Amino acid sequence: MSEHFLLLSCCAPCSCAVISKLAADGANFSVVFYNPNIRPLAEYERRRDENARVCKEYGVPFIELEYDNERWCDLTQGLEDLPERDCRCSICFHMRLKRVMEYAKANGISAVASVLGVSRYKNLAQVNEAAAKASSETGVSYLEIEGRKGGMQELRTSLIKELQLYNQDYCGCKPRQ
Residues at the contact surface with ligand SF4, assessed by CB under 6 A: 37, 84, 88-89, 92, 171-173
Q: How far is the CB of 89 from ligand SF4 (least distance, A)?
A: 3
Q: How far is the CB of 149 from ligand SF4 (least distance, A)?
A: 21
The answer to whether the beta carbons of residues 113 and 5 sit under 8 Å apart is yes
Query: Quick one: 147 or 172, whose CB is closer to ligand SF4?
Result: 172
Query: Quick one: 37 or 135, whose CB is closer to ligand SF4?
Result: 37
Q: How far is the CB of 171 from ligand SF4 (least distance, A)?
A: 3
Query: Quick one: 78 or 139, whose CB is closer to ligand SF4?
Result: 78
Q: How far is the CB of 75 from ligand SF4 (least distance, A)?
A: 10
| Cross-sheet strand order for the sheet of 62-64 | 62-64, 29-33, 5-8, 111-114, 141-143
Burial zone of 168 (CB within 10 Å; 0-12 exposed, 13-18 middle, 19+ buried): middle
Query: Quick one: 84 or 102, whose CB is closer to ligand SF4?
Result: 84
DSSP per-residue letters across 122-155 = S-HHHHHHHHHHHHHHH--EEE----STTTHHHH
